[in-house]
Structure 1
């Protein structure tokens, strides 16, 4: 049996999901996800019309990415010591 290209999600369910999976959860969980996992969350949020929230998830995840990771911000992690200045 072939899977459909789209699914129907009741509006109330979509609203509850986007509220539950909001900025606070993104801040707590985003850094723990792999790049692929956060991309999947972001894609679902985009499909629900939540582009700004998808960006929040990517940004929060990126705070823990390393140099070789997809979402790396180009800066050291906040928990890493800053090298001493001469």
Structure 2
């Protein structure tokens, strides 16, 4: 115990000297108190894990909402009459974007419906042009 009492002035002097040099104190603190460093690292890890959990929970709720919205949109667009009336009015690029959206949300039948209805209005040479059913026979006869 007497040894600690004799070292107290030295520690006090070192502490006051290190107080004026924060960079040196930051480097020496982990060496002098390794348990404090481990506690700090553990608390930081707990904070990061808690933050990650909250982000995942919020993202999961938002993703569920987006899935439901995509499902509702696919139900709305899965109408042959709507696709027939509107499909021809879209450009090939626009209909490809609509189709890629429905393929991405696992509704390839809706995508195919819109591409098919769009193709009816395409001219020869367009991306989705589909020749009329009887056109092969006419070509052979000529």
Q: TM-score, normalised by structure 1?
A: 0.72
Shift of 1:29: 0.8
Alignment of 1:40-51 (within 5 A): 40-51=97-108
Structure 1 unaligned residues grouped into runs of 5+ = 1-7, 77-86
Q: In 2, distance between residues paired with 1:31 and 1:71?
A: 11
Q: Report the number of matched residues.
A: 70
C-alpha RMSD over aligned residues? 2.0
Q: Which has the larger radius of gyration?
A: 2
Alignment of 1:2-81 (within 5 A): 8=63, 10-23=66-79, 24-75=81-132
Q: TM-score, normalised by structure 2?
A: 0.45
Runs of 4+ in 1 over 6 A off after TM superposition: none
Structure 2 unaligned residues grouped into runs of 5+ = 1-62, 134-142
